Amino acid sequence: MDDDEPLLHEPDLMLALMRAARERPAGLDAAAERLAANLAAAHAPAADPAELRRRLARAAALLQGAGVLSPADPGTFRLTESGARLLAQHPDGIDQSVLERLPEFRAYLVARDRRHAAADRRESTFDSGFRAFRDGRPMDANPFDPDTPDHQVWENGWCDGRDRRGRGEDR
């Protein structure tokens, strides 16, 4: 499925999910049915059902992370009050750029990224570089051989510390 197919890009997927769950709990199938009806009305070719379901599931996860959808019965979700407000403000659809304005979504992304980083065996190396910057050590204090992945990971941690300080952020 091409990402540029009409009615199947992220704002349309999220809009279908939100509208499906607006009045009662709904699942991915209800959103897929809405999209199928929209495609038929536009005389557009039908979407691959498996790919559509995969993309809807991803969009639903993002909307749940933002607090726009909440789980209801197994396999279903409902539109939250904040989701209803967001839908009223953006009736033509939303995407991640809109969700990023929500503190819940930003917190969800941070937590998701930390879970992914925890699976990285070099997380401690990155953190070591980060702490080195915070402790005032120069980048050339990198303890790893220059031609190793650990050297680059440590340097990335050091640079992240520098960049965060420049933006006034703490880790």
Instruction: Look at residue 92 and tell me whether its pLDDT is greater than 70.
Output: yes
Angle between helices 10-20 and 81-89 (to 10 degrees): 130
Work out the pLDDT band at 45, boundaries 50, 70, 90.
confident
**71: in domain:** yes
Contacts of 25 (CB under 8 A, 6+ apart): 72, 73, 76, 77, 78
Work out the pLDDT band at 169, boundaries 50, 70, 90.
confident
What value does the mean pLDDT take over residues 28-53? Answer: 89
- Residue 169 phi, psi dihedral angles, 5° rounding: -105, 155
My answer on whether 28 and 103 are in the same domain is: yes
**158: in domain:** yes
Q: Could you list the residue range(s) of the whole structural domain that residue 90 is in?
A: 10-107
Q: Which of 9-13, 15-19, 107-111, 166-170 has the lowest mean pLDDT?
A: 166-170
My answer on whether 17 and 98 are in the same domain is: yes
My answer on whether 72 and 27 are in the same domain is: yes
My answer on whether 89 and 125 are in the same domain is: no
**5: in domain:** no
**1: in domain:** no
What global pTM score does this model have? Answer: 0.65
Q: How many domains does the chain divide into?
A: 2
My answer on whether 55 and 101 are in the same domain is: yes
My answer on whether 93 and 147 are in the same domain is: no
My answer on whether 36 and 79 are in the same domain is: yes
Q: What pLDDT does residue 14 have?
A: 95
| pLDDT tens, position by position, 15-34 | 999 999 999 999 999 999 99
- Angstrom distances, CA of residue 149 to CA of 13, 29, 82, 91: 39, 44, 44, 47
My answer on whether 93 and 140 are in the same domain is: no
**68: in domain:** yes
Q: What pLDDT does residue 158 have?
A: 93
- CATH number, domain of 33, equals 1.10.10.10
